[in-house]
């Protein structure tokens, strides 16, 4: 019976009468044993190197995946922060616009609610005297009323006095 038949019988549990007989091993020659030992050591070393390379490759792939995931997360975080900042800026601008409109409306309402001061020119009046009475510069009165020559005013003219 051949070696492979013996192995097959051992694995399948089948034994024949020859297998029940005590095994006789052929003597191993020392050089042959040394060669077998070297082959085994070489195979084990090759397997260890292959396993080390496989482990290193798996570790590198895991690190690359982790790095890619970290980069994706960083990009997503940056995009979220940029969106939040843009939203906050837009909200602040909208609030500022609303406040500016409210202030403008309030100023217009205050001007509309306040009675305009007027003065009717009498003979001998000057813009300078009129300005002094109201505590306003005479040039402001001239500008507010479209007077081109502040030295030339007429009795009966009605001037609006600016604030």
What is the b/e burial string over 15-54, where b = at least 16 CB atoms within 10 angstroms of the residue's CB?
eeeeeeeeeeeeeeeeeeeeeeeeeeeeeeeeeeeeeeee
pTM of the model: 0.36
Q: How many alpha carbons lie under 13 Å from residue 60 in its C-beta half-sphere? A: 6
Using pLDDT thresholds of 50, 70 and 90, give the confidence band for residue 92: very high
**Does 112-163 carry CATH code 1.10.10.10?**
no
Measured from the Cβ of residue 80, the count of other Cβ atoms closer than 10 Å reads 10
Indicate whether 109 pLDDT > 80: no
Using pLDDT thresholds of 50, 70 and 90, give the confidence band for residue 26: low
Indicate whether 10 pLDDT > 90: no
The CA distance from 155 to 153, in Å, is: 7
Indicate whether 130 pLDDT > 60: yes
């Amino acid at each position: 019976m051949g070696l492979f038949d013996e192995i097959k019988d051992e694995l399948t549990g089948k034994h024949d009468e020859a297998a029940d007989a005590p095994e006789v091993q052929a003597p191993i020659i020392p050089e042959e044993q040394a060669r077998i030992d070297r082959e085994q050591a070489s195979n084990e070393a090759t397997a260890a190197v292959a396993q080390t390379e496989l482990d290193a490759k798996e570790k590198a792939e895991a690190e690359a995946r982790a790095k890619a995931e970290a980069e994706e997360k960083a990009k997503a975080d940056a995009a979220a922060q940029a969106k939040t900042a843009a939203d906050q800026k837009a909200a602040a601008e909208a609030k500022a616009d609303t406040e500016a409109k409210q202030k403008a409306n309030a100023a217009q309402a205050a001007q509309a609610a306040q009675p305009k001061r007027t003065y009717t020119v009498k003979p001998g009046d000057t813009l300078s005297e009129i300005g002094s009475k109201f505590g306003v510069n005479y040039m402001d009165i001239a500008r507010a009323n479209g007077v081109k020559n502040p030295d030339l005013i007429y009795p009966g003219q009605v001037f609006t006095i600016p604030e």
